[in-house]
Chain A
Amino acid sequence: MNYTEFLLWVRGPAFHFATAILVLGLTLRFLEMLFLGSPRQYAAVRSNGIAGGIRTVISRFAPPEPGVFQRSWFIIVAGYLFHLGFFISFFLFAPHIILLKQVLGVSWPGLPAPVINIITIVSLFAMITLLINRWYYPVLRFLSDFEDYLSWTLAFLPLFTGYLAFHHIWLPYPLMLALHILSVEILMIVLPFTKLIHTFTFIIARWTNGARAAQKGVQV
């Protein structure tokens, strides 16, 4: 298999396989959760919790209160930079938009390549600092397990290989591009079965926490 064949393979069968695993995996994981149900609330509530649940899903995107920020500023700042960088480079890079249009049927304007380039560098830098923090901050050193490092690696590789492919660094472009796509496919396959699934489940987590608190009259 030469570079071109490899590129065609990752773009074709491998992509379809990864998409299938992602969809089936997410379906399985969500069904596993949904079957657990939720206990009924009999206490006289102060609000039905729906608005509060939605509010928490959105409000936890915002920076926390000053007291919380001061104690966890590093993880918050680096976390923002990584997540924002990841999503901007994923959704607003012109070649990605073309690909997404083929899959989703809709498109949107992108950002200029030099801007994406800077954002990617910032995001990669944030990820490296997050990894170093995981080694040096005692709480994270204590908590971290294999899955944490695996998740970090799987999120890092698409950004890193994308950057290398864009700049034509190290490997021939078709091979680097193929590896970039493959790294995304590995991410898609593994996502439902690791904590990377938080990409989707955070909505239920924030919702349930926010709704329960709102029923008691507290905005969390």
Chain B
Amino acid sequence: MSAATFARGYQALKENIDISIASYFHSCVHCGMCAEACLFYTETNDPKYTPIHKLAPLRKVWEQEYTLLGRLKVWLGLAQPLKDEELAEWKEYIYDSCTLCGRCSMVCPVGNDLVYMIRKVREGIAAAGHAPTGLIDATTRAIKIGSPMGLKWPALQTQIKHVENDTGLIIPIDQPGAEFLVLMSSMEIINFPEYLAAVAKIMKHVGKTWTISTEAFEATNSGIQIGVSDIAKELVSRIVKAAEKLQVKTVISPECGHAYMAIRWEGPNLMGRYFKFQVKHILEVLDEFRDQGKLKTDGIFETARLTYHDPCQIARRGGVIEQPRNLLKLVARNFVEMADHGKMNWCCGGGGGVSAIDEAHELRTKVFNRKKNQLQELKVEKLVTACANCRIIIEEGFEDYQMELPIIGLTEMVAEHLVEK
């Protein structure tokens, strides 16, 4: 990544404008419905968090670069070109108060995909050098060390040994020709190694070959979150190289929302080519096993009243919506849905890299109120999800709001209910 300058930021914004973005700016009639879909507005009542307002810098560049009228306005002195200070100011709207959850894109009556544009504005603000320090640090660690949290292979190796000791199962490492390459997020390696244990148990149960790569075990992609495409591409390419070297059929994205977005949806576009392997979220893989009758459960159902929190990038922006529900029905008797769920679920408040932004902590705690209310309305005894970041954010939120509710990852829950073979 070359040195950040306003010129580079401006250029990045300019290059990212396509036909859809032009149609979105043309079509917006300032109806305000996107505000009501955004938890940063609904929980603060501050209009400055209205999603379309967050896109003002991009609108300016589009108008002044790609429309005759916009150019004329600048020429006549009726409009001012974008300034570096504006990009610096907009950092709060584009990073701190947007989790890229995409709920706004679901409600816009003219059909604007607002989050698609927010993602593009991040490219501009990052290139101009105004990205949040927390995300810059995470991205630097990801590039230099291999993981946004600074984890190296020995850390995972230690966890692997623990898991092997605890379960008596072997975790395959660098196995060429395995069917699945299993990725993990740093958050899982540090906080939820039970995910790895669950995967090992499930793979043994279904009799599938799998492996972890010493060269590419980290699934998360800080380049996507901060909005620097060349870094995002470098991080994706590590996985692609490992997957192709090991000749796996499928790469399994872990219980992490944005990792799935990064490798499944943005990855091939960043690489500029089709992948030679498939990319699936762990829940997709498990649901396929279920569909094939390979998951033999012990018949002991979860009896607690529980609900499922859809991670935005897995459900709304990723298309994995039915699979977790199918799996829950397999193991739980008392599964209930939140009023807004699936593609309309509310974000935990910490996605899109917001959890890595220190100065956004207070705001994100405030907007967690939405998730808290959703859960309290439902009076559940347990929460299931499929994203380690959501899980941490929700746990922190519970602490801040002095609420107690056990949270479990769905993969782990499924593994717990399989018959021992």
Contacts and interface: CB of A to CB of B under 8 A. Distances in A.
Contacts of A210: 111
A197 interface: yes
Given A37-B18, A212-B20, 9 more contacts: A37-B19, A40-B269, A42-B268, A44-B279, A75-B33, A143-B47, A205-B24, A209-B108, A217-B320
B30 A143 contact: yes
Contacts of B290: none
B88 interface: no
B112 A205 contact: yes
Interface stretch (A13-21, A117-125, A133-141): A133-141
A23 B96 CA distance: 43
A193 B63 CA distance: 11
Interface string B256-269: 00000000111111
Contact of B50 (A44, A64, A143, A148): A143
A71 B111 contact: no
A183 B26 CA distance: 22
Lowest 7 A-B CB distances belong to which pairs?
A: A206-B111, A217-B319, A42-B268, A142-B47, A208-B20, A204-B23, A209-B113
B408 interface: no
Interface in B333-385: 339-340, 343-344
Interface in A43-93: 43-44, 46, 56-57, 60, 64-65, 67-68, 71-72, 75-76, 79
B32 A207 contact: no
B41 A139 contact: yes
B344 A202 contact: no
A220 B30 contact: no
Contacts of B271: 42
B71 to A, nearest CB: 11
Interface string B77-110: 0000000000000000000000000000111111
B111 A218 contact: no
A152 to B, nearest CB: 10
A33 B22 contact: yes
Contacts of B268: 42-44
Nearest to B266: A43
A216 B265 contact: yes
Contact of B265 (A43, A144, A206): A43
Contact of A36 (B66, B108, B267, B339): B66
B67 A32 contact: yes
A148 B20 CA distance: 22
B267 A137 contact: no
A100 B31 CA distance: 31
Nearest to B103: A68
Given A32-B22, A33-B26, A72-B36, A142 B269 contact: no
A25 B109 CA distance: 24
A96 B83 CA distance: 49
A218 B30 contact: no
A28 B274 contact: no
Contacts of B47: 138-139, 141-143
A195 B105 contact: no
B419 interface: no
Given A72-B36, A143-B53, A198-B110, A79 B319 contact: no
A174 to B, nearest CB: 34
A101 interface: no
Interface of A: 28-29, 32-44, 46, 56-57, 60, 64-65, 67-68, 71-72, 75-76, 79, 137-145, 148, 151, 193, 195, 197-198, 201-202, 204-210, 212-213, 216-220
Given A142-B53, A198-B29, A216-B317, A39 B18 contact: yes
Nearest to B28: A195
Contact of B27 (A41, A68, A142, A205): A205
B32 A75 contact: yes
28 contacts: A29-B26, A29-B67, A32-B66, A33-B23, A38-B20, A42-B271, A42-B275, A43-B268, A46-B319, A65-B344, A67-B339, A76-B33, A138-B45, A139-B35, A139-B50, A141-B47, A143-B30, A143-B50, A143-B52, A148-B29, A151-B29, A198-B110, A201-B23, A201-B26, A202-B23, A202-B111, A208-B23, A217-B321
B207 interface: no
A72 B26 contact: no
A204 B20 CA distance: 7
B69 interface: yes
A34 B112 CA distance: 17
Contacts of B237: none
B321 A79 contact: no
A37 B30 CA distance: 25
Contacts of A76: 33, 109
Nearest to B45: A138
Given A195-B26, A205-B110, A44 B275 contact: yes
Contacts of B31: 75, 79, 140
A42 B273 contact: yes
A207 B20 CA distance: 9
Given A197-B26, A208-B19, A212-B116, A140 B272 contact: no
Interface string B1-42: 000000000000000011111111011111111011100011
Given A43-B265, A217-B319, A68 B107 contact: yes
Contacts of B264: 43
A142 B44 CA distance: 15
Contacts of A39: 18, 269
B245 interface: no
A205 B30 contact: no
B113 A212 contact: yes
B19 A36 contact: yes
Nearest to A134: B30
Contact of B48 (A46, A57, A142, A216): A142
Contact of A68 (B36, B274, B279): B36
